[in-house]
């Protein structure tokens, strides 16, 4: 489509259900009560000139272009700041107003460079538009007066420039940073004519608090804050709407192109998850899609020490199929399996799941959710009856108390963090349970009511203590429990939770948090009108991850915080489509919609649809595949867009397993760490090339649309389909992603009403979406739980076996940071590395001191599993005794030290707790040396025949 | 007011004839000596195009240059402007510059028209009374002492 200009109503919706009638330019107009005259007029098709107003931020009333006359009121009033009233009579156009508006524009232009023809914003500039709209013909002041036109640019941010010479001081950027992003990095420095936008206290944008979310750039009406890509390539001319491929927030974007080149990604205002906001990753870090490291031709090799050979698609598929068949013949049907990717679309995942269950004829299919939110799936299914979060993001605007456990939204789910911060600035209270003092504990205009810096591995003791306080202090919601939950499981739970072993006074020693803080936090949560729990991998990636999820579900049910806006139990899911890859049945024990493979009726449905018998036995989970590989029984693996060699725990064990396999097929954009051990490389497509859907953390099915054409000439599902068909057994004949979605809908009850056409019409829906809920389901468990009555589970605290002792006296916990994403395959290939060049070890100064470690020193970190070297950063954010690192860079090898200790129910690895010792170091660890030495060989690509010089 | 200036105040300190007085602060109007027969209350002053403001009265003798006083008003606004709204932030600077041109006798007719328009703009469109009242001393000076602005000024110099 042509360049989409989203309508700007000038001021935000007052979110009122009442309407008032008024007259604007002789027309009777109905408007929301509390709306500005400007908004009411815009909705009625009357556009009032404006520059300082935009509907993402509150009205400010500074440019004075939007003046109107109102019968019975003196003077001229700014329509952006004046609310509508019943019976008001407004005039937006007359000679007086026209003169005033022209006068304002004359002033603006008298302090503006006359650069339009060579300006990067030419054609996309509101200042230009307004000069035209008010009919400015002459600037009678001349251009020799005082001005800012000689000011120089700040080009420090890698993605956008700040050119103060073009600034009209409308403050839209400042307000966007305050209200939309909530970072408050910008201010207007100086006063009067000297006023100018400044980042921090006269810092450059790069050095300031700015997190490069792009909200200010989006809000700026001129070329002052401008994407570098637009400066370089010019204003784009067409738009494709799509979805970010990074985190589980699932922001909608307008990809803006010029020809077939993406110029910029602009967050869509009608994106229901992000409502026009973005973070640095989705907004700016998409350049990896055309990075030189990207592989676009299929490649094969016989041994992992051979160089890769580029081959045709046919040859690669044939080679892969032959190897897989051979393996199954030699080692049995169950000797091969697949891992589907949470970065791919549900349609692509579906193809892999189907291939495994038909062509591989087994259930050896798992997904990277295994290592992140599998306990969420398990825990919420047990208690509520469905494996997904309960709320839509918007719900947080109704929360009075937020309990945030083991999640760091400002870094990992930045756009949702901005929504939380907005609500917190309005006065909602926050409780943070995290070993680290994450940003939300104290950030401009937000301060947590309680920070409970519990020791890693003690979550369950905490949630039990919170519930204990609620239960023993009479703070339970008896009515909710009676009408909505099971009587007997509740009674049993009540008896358990009231026991002294769960009291704050008992667990304080385990948690390292004072009992009174636990009590105060519990009271705050339990007495709130609407209290919501948000959590992340700090909950799930533990030996008791599933227990903790159920503990939170218990607490929410017992206090009646389920089934309406503002409450709930909400996983902040990591990857763009991790919800979707789970929903599609990428599990060794479940079909789509979380139906067990042991269920005969379900199997019969799939057998009928796919024409192959379905195995009733559970397949292998990822850890089982790896263990079996080491034991010699599992020999072949198809890995779609996941890098287990970097992301999974205990790297040495993973590498041993990978080396033991006969055939590894990697489908990815890059020769990732796992591909070092692979025999077939099937080049994948980036999100900019995909057609399909991602499902975000709020169960929202968002469309991903091809923005550019596939760099490999194929869609990923097409490749999977070709391989499945080459193996025999299945005859997949999809001709489009839409057809795959139709099959998903036909075989997955919660998706019964979903199709691409329907999504294109509605924008997005949240599953369940079927005959019972044709519009989708923003909030779950409203009248009853999916399983009927809410089920309480006893959640006894069992300490992890991974304990600190004399030899390993500290606990390591891992996480991620804003500018990098997980294994970093994408973000490391963008300018985001300017913010985070390497993984470092954060430690408390007191721990450092006793070890003779100074800030910036190299340190060795050793666990029972392995050892790595990295740089120490001293930080008071850490509790003493706890150290923290990220795993964004493969050469660091953070997972060399993590263990395969895992959740008892789902085998989700315990990344968050590893007992370690930290000592000063002056060389790389043995693994790091070996990695550096062997990797170049394992990545070699033979000079391909096509590349040979022509005669 | 005449009573206040002449009887209580005893006229100008230098003893030179009174030419005008500014009432109500730096943004108050200049009242010519001939119009001093007015009550010092809100209604009467605003009836004669002035304002009581903070009540202060600054008396000028016949050596005052009213174009410079008008310029001073714009300069005062430039210094005091918070910078939020456009008419005040940029208008005050352009007002001062335009008055400089007028004082220098450049393009008088055009610049006086520009100044007039700017005064209307600042009065009607400014966000607060800072920019909104700045034109008051300017327009009152223009109205009552045109000889200090027009070609008569050049002739006198
Ligand atoms: S910012 Fe707008 S008005 Fe200014 S030079 Fe650029 S296009 Fe022209
Ligand atoms: S940088 Fe842009 S948004 Fe910010 S004040 Fe200047 S013109 Fe307005
Ligand atoms: S990019 Fe975001 S954080 Fe940075 S100044 Fe702009 S709005 Fe604020
Ligand atoms: S990474 Fe997440 S928060 Fe950032 S733009 Fe993408 S979906 Fe939105
Ligand atoms: S748009 Fe209303 S004052 Fe700027």
pLDDT in tens, A585-612: 999 999 999 898 999 999 999 999 999 9
Which residue of chain A is at minimal alpha-carbon distance from B123? Answer: A75
Length of chain B: 157
Decide: A148 in ligand 1 pocket, CB within 6 A: no
Q: Do A107 and B94 touch (CB under 8 A)?
A: yes
DSSP 8-state secondary structure symbol assigned to residue A896: G
Cβ of B87 within 8 Å of Cβ of A62? The answer is no
Cβ neighbours of A100 in B, within 8 Å: 120-121, 124-125
Give the pLDDT confidence score for residue A822 in this predicted structure. 66
Ligand 3 touching residue A210 (CB < 6 A): yes
Could you tell me if A551 and A588 are in contact, meaning their C-beta atoms sit under 8 angstroms apart?
no
Question: Looking at residues B38-47, what average pLDDT do you find?
Answer: 91
Of all residues in chain A, the one with the smallest CA distance to B76 is: A192
Least CB-CB distance to A76: which of B80, B110, B125? Answer: B125
pLDDT at A315: 93
Q: How far apart are CA A921 and CA A351, in angstroms?
A: 48
Cα A392 from Cα A478, distance rounded (Å): 26
As a whole number of angstroms, the distance between CA A47 and CA A290 comes to: 41
- Would you say residue A853 has pLDDT above 70? yes
pLDDT tens digit sequence for A329-341: 999 999 999 999 9
Rounded mean pLDDT of B106-112? 93
Per the model's pLDDT, the better-predicted residue between A879 and A25 turns out to be A25
Q: Residue of the nearest CA to atom 3 in ligand 5?
A: A61
* Model confidence at A370: pLDDT above 80: no
The conformation of residue A66, written as its DSSP 8-state character, comes to S
Average pLDDT over residues B36-46: 92
Lowest-confidence range among A181-190, A452-461, A744-753, A831-840? Answer: A831-840
Closest ligand relative to A100 C-alpha: 5
Compute the distance between CA of residue B130 and CA of residue B145 in angstroms, rounded to an integer.
Answer: 23
Burial of A629 (0-12, 13-18, 19+ CB in 10 A): buried
- Average pLDDT score over residue span A431-451: 93
Mean pLDDT of chain A: 90
Chain-centre distance of CA A397, in angstroms? 19
Residue (of B87, B102, B92) closest to B142 by Cα position: B102
Does ligand 1 lie within 6 Å of residue A122's CB atom? yes
Burial class (CB in 10 A: 0-12, 13-18, 19+), A425: middle
Q: Which of A916, A894, A900 is nearest to A370 (CA)?
A: A900
Higher-confidence residue of A544 and A8: namely A8
> What pLDDT is attached to residue A946?
45
A173 lines ligand 2 (CB under 6 A): yes
* Span A835-839, average pLDDT: 76
* Contact (CB, 8 A) for A565 and A395: yes
In chain B, where are the structural domains located? 2-61, 66-156
Task: Determine whether the interchain pair A104/B92 forms a contact, defined as Cβ–Cβ distance below 8 Å.
Answer: no
Band (A830; pLDDT cuts 50, 70, 90): confident
Three-class SS of residue A616? coil
Is ipTM beyond 0.90? yes
Residues paired with A785 in a beta bridge: A788
3-state secondary structure of A754: coil
Distance CA A40, CA A34 (A): 10
In this predicted model, what pLDDT tens digit does every residue of A160-183 receive, in sequence order? 999 999 999 999 999 999 999 999
Contacts of A684 (CB under 8 A, 6+ apart): A344, A640, A641, A667, A668, A669, A712, A716
- The helix (H) or strand (E) run that includes residue A492 is helix A487-497
Of A62, A75, A96, the CB nearest to B86: A62
A484-492 average pLDDT score: 94
- Quote the CA–CA distance of B145 and A89 in Å, as a whole number: 40
A951 pLDDT above the threshold of 50: no
In ligand 3, which atom is closest to the CA atom of A180?
7
**CB < 8 Å to A110, chain B:** 90, 94
Say which CATH class B66-156 falls into: mainly alpha
pLDDT tens per residue, range A564-580: 999 999 998 878 898 89
Stated pTM of the model = 0.91
Within 8 A of A96 by CB-CB distance, chain B residues are: 124
Q: Is the peptide bond before A555 cis (omega within 30 degrees of 0)?
A: no
CATH no., domain B2-61: 3.10.20.600
Instruction: Please report the pLDDT score of residue A945 as a whole number.
Output: 45
Question: Would you state the pLDDT for residue B153?
Answer: 67
Confidence of residue A931 (pLDDT cuts 50, 70, 90): confident
Q: What is the mean pLDDT of residues A351-357?
A: 94
- Interhelix angle A737-747/A600-610, nearest 10 degrees: 150
Which residues fall within 8 angstroms of residue A711, CB to CB, at 6 or more apart? Answer: A289, A290, A294, A296, A683, A685, A686, A689
Cβ-contact A121, A160 below 8 angstroms? no
H or E segment and range at residue A429: strand A429-433
With 80 as the cut, is the pLDDT of residue A944 above it? no
pLDDT for B116-129, tens place per residue?
999 999 999 999 99
A366/A642 Cα distance (integer angstroms): 11
Predicted local confidence at residue A20, as pLDDT = 96
Find the helix packing angle between A95-110 and A126-133, rounded to 10°: 140
Kindly report the number of other CB atoms within 10 A of residue A745's CB atom. Answer: 18
Pairwise pLDDT comparison (A798 vs A447), residue with the higher score: A447
Instruction: For residue A740, give the 3-state DSSP assignment.
Output: helix
Residue nearest atom 5 of ligand 3, based on CA coordinates: A210
**pLDDT of A947 over the 50 cut:** no
Residue B130 near residue B80, CB atoms below 8 Å: yes
Question: Which of B73, B109, B110 minimizes the C-alpha distance to B92?
Answer: B73
- Within 8 A of B127 by CB-CB distance, chain A residues are 61-62, 64, 78
Give Cα separations from A294 to B20, B25, B90 (angstroms).
Answer: 80, 71, 52
* CA within 13 Å, CB half, A406: 33
Please work out whether the CB of residue A172 comes within 6 Å of at least one atom of ligand 2. Answer: yes
CB A111 within 8 A of CB A149: yes
Contact check, Cβ <8 Å, B87/A111? no
Q: Is A655 exposed, middle or buried (0-12, 13-18, 19+ CB in 10 A)?
A: buried
Q: Which of A700, A491, A691, A459 is nearest to A577 (CA)?
A: A700
Q: Do A76 and B124 touch (CB under 8 A)?
A: yes
Work out the percent of chain A whose per-residue pLDDT is above 70: 98
Look at residue A949 in the predicted model and tell me its pLDDT. 41
- Please give the number of the atom of ligand 4 that sits closest to the Cα of A821: 1
Give CA A271 to chain center in angstroms: 14
Closest Cα of chain A to B128: distance in Å?
10
Chain-centroid distance, C-alpha B122: 14
Confidence of residue A97 (pLDDT cuts 50, 70, 90): very high
Q: What are phi and psi of A570, to 5 degrees?
A: -125, 110
**pLDDT at residue A244 is higher than 50:** yes
Q: Mean pLDDT over residues A97-122, rounded?
A: 93
- Whether ligand 2 lies within 6 angstroms of the CB of A198 is answered as no
């Amino acid at each position: 489509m042509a360049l989409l200009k989203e309508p700007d109503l000038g001021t935000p919706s007052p979110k009122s259900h009442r309407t008032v009638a008024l007259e604007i330019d002789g027309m009777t107009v109905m408007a929301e009560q509390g709306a500005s005259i400007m908004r009411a007029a815009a909705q009625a098709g009357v556009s009032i000139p404006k520059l300082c107003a935009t509907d993402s931020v509150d009205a400010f009333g500074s440019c004075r272009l939007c003046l109107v006359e109102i019968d019975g009121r003196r003077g001229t009033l700014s329509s952006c700041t004046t609310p509508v009233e019943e019976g008001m009579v407004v005039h937006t156009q007359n000679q007086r107003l026209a003169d005033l508006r022209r006068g304002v524009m004359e002033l603006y232009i008298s302090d503006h460079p006359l650069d339009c023809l060579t300006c990067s914003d030419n054609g996309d500039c509101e200042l230009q538009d307004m000069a035209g709209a008010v009919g400015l013909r002459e600037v009678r002041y001349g251009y020799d007066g005082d001005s800012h036109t000689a000011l120089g640019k700040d080009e420090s941010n890698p993605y956008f420039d700040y050119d103060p010479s073009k600034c009209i001081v409308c403050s839209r950027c400042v307000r966007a940073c305050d209200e939309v992003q909530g970072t408050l990095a910008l201010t207007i420095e100086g006063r009067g004519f000297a006023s100018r936008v400044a980042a921090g206290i006269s810092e450059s944008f790069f050095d300031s608090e700015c997190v490069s979310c792009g909200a200010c750039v989006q809000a700026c009406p001129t070329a002052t804050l401008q994407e570098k890509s637009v400066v370089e390539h010019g204003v784009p001319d067409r738009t494709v709407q799509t979805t970010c491929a990074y985190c589980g927030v699932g922001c909608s974007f307008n990809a803006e192109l010029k020809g077939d080149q993406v110029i910029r990604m602009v967050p869509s205002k009608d994106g229901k998850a992000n409502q026009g906001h973005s973070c640095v990753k989705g907004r700016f870090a998409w350049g990896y899609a055309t990075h030189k490291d990207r592989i676009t031709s299929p490649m094969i090799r016989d041994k992992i020490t051979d160089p890769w050979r580029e081959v045709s698609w046919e040859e690669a598929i044939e080679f892969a199929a032959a190897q897989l068949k051979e393996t199954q013949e030699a080692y049995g049907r169950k000797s091969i399996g697949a891992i589907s990717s949470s970065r791919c679309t549900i349609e692509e995942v579906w193809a892999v799941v189907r291939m495994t269950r038909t062509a591989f004829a087994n259930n050896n299919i798992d997904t990277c959710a295994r290592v992140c939110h599998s306990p969420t799936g398990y825990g919420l299914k047990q208690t509520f009856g469905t494996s997904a979060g309960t709320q839509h993001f918007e719900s947080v605007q109704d929360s009075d108390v937020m309990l945030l456990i083991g999640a760091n939204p400002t870094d990992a789910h930045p756009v949702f963090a901005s929504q939380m911060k907005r609500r917190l600035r309005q006065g909602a209270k926050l409780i943070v349970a995290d070993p680290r003092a994450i940003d939300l504990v104290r950030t401009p205009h937000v301060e947590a009511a309680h920070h409970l810096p519990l020791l890693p591995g003690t979550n369950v003791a905490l949630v039990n203590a919170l519930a204990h306080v609620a239960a023993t202090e009479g703070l339970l919601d008896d009515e909710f429990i009676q009408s909505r939950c099971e009587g007997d499981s509740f009674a049993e739970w009540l008896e358990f939770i009231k026991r002294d072993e769960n009291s704050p006074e008992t667990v304080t020693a385990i948690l390292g948090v004072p009992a009174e803080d636990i009590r105060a936090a519990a009271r705050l949560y339990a007495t709130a009108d609407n209290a919501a729990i948000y959590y992340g991998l700090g909950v799930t990636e533990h030996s008791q991850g599933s227990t903790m999820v159920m503990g939170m579900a218990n607490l929410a049910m017992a206090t009646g915080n389920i089934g309406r806006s503002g409450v709930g139990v909400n996983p902040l899911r990591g990857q763009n489509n991790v919800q979707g890859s789970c929903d599609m049945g990428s599990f060794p024990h479940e079909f789509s919609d979380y139906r067990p493979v042991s269920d005969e009726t379900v199997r019969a449905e799939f057998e009928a649809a796919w024409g192959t018998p379905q195995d009733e036995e559970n397949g292998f989970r990822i850890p089982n595949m790896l263990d079996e590989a080491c034991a010699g029984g599992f020999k072949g693996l198809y890995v779609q867009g996941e890098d287990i060699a970097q992301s999974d725990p205990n790297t040495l064990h993973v590498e041993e397993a990978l080396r033991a396999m006969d055939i590894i097929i990697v489908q990815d954009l890059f020769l990732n760490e796992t591909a070092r051990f692979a025999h077939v490389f099937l080049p994948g497509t980036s999100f900019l090339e995909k057609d399909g859907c991602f499902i975000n953390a709020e169960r929202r099915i968002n469309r991903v649309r091809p923005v550019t054409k596939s760099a490999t000439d194929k869609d990923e599902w097409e490749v999977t389909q070709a391989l499945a068909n080459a193996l025999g057994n299945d005859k997949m004949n999809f001709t489009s992603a839409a057809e795959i979605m139709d099959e998903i809908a036909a075989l997955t009850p919660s998706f019964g009403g979903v199709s691409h056409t329907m999504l294109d019409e509605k924008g997005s829906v949240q599953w369940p979406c079927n005959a019972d809920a044709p519009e989708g389901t923003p909030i779950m468990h409203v009248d009853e739980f999916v399983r009927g009555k809410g089920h309480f589970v006893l959640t006894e605290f069992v300490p992890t076996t991974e304990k600190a002792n004399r030899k390993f006296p500290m606990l390591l916990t891992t996480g991620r940071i804003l500018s990098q994403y997980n294994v970093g395959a994408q973000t490391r290939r963008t300018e985001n590395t300017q913010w985070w060049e390497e993984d470092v070890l954060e430690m408390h100064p007191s721990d450092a001191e006793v070890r003779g470690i100074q800030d910036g020193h190299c340190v060795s970190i050793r666990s029972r599993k392995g050892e790595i070297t990295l740089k120490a950063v001293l930080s008071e954010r850490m509790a003493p005794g706890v150290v923290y690192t990220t795993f964004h860079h493969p050469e660091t090898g953070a997972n060399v030290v993590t263990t395969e200790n895992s959740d008892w129910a789902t085998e989700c690895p315990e990344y968050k707790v590893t007992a370690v010792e930290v000592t000063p170091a002056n060389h790389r660890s043995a693994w790091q040396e070996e990695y550096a030495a062997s990797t170049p060989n394992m990545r070699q690509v033979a000079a391909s025949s096509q590349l040979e010089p022509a005669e | 007011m005449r009573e206040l200036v002449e009887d209580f105040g005893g006229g100008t300190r230098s003893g030179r004839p009174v030419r005008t007085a500014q009432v109500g602060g730096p943004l108050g109007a200049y009242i010519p000596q001939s119009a001093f027969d007015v009550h010092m209350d809100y209604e009467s002053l605003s009836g004669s195009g002035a304002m009581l403001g903070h009540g202060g009265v600054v008396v000028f003798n016949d050596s005052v240059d009213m174009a410079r006083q008008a310029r001073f008003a714009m300069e005062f606004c430039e210094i005091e402007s918070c910078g939020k709204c456009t008419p005040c932030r940029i208008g005050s600077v352009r007002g001062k510059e335009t008055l400089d041109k007028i004082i220098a006798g450049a393009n008088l007719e055009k610049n006086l028209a520009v100044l007039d328009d700017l005064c209307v703009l600042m009065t009607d469109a400014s966000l607060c009374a800072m920019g909104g009242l700045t034109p008051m001393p300017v327009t009152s000076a223009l109205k009552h002492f045109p000889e200090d602005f027009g070609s008569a000024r050049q002739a006198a110099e």
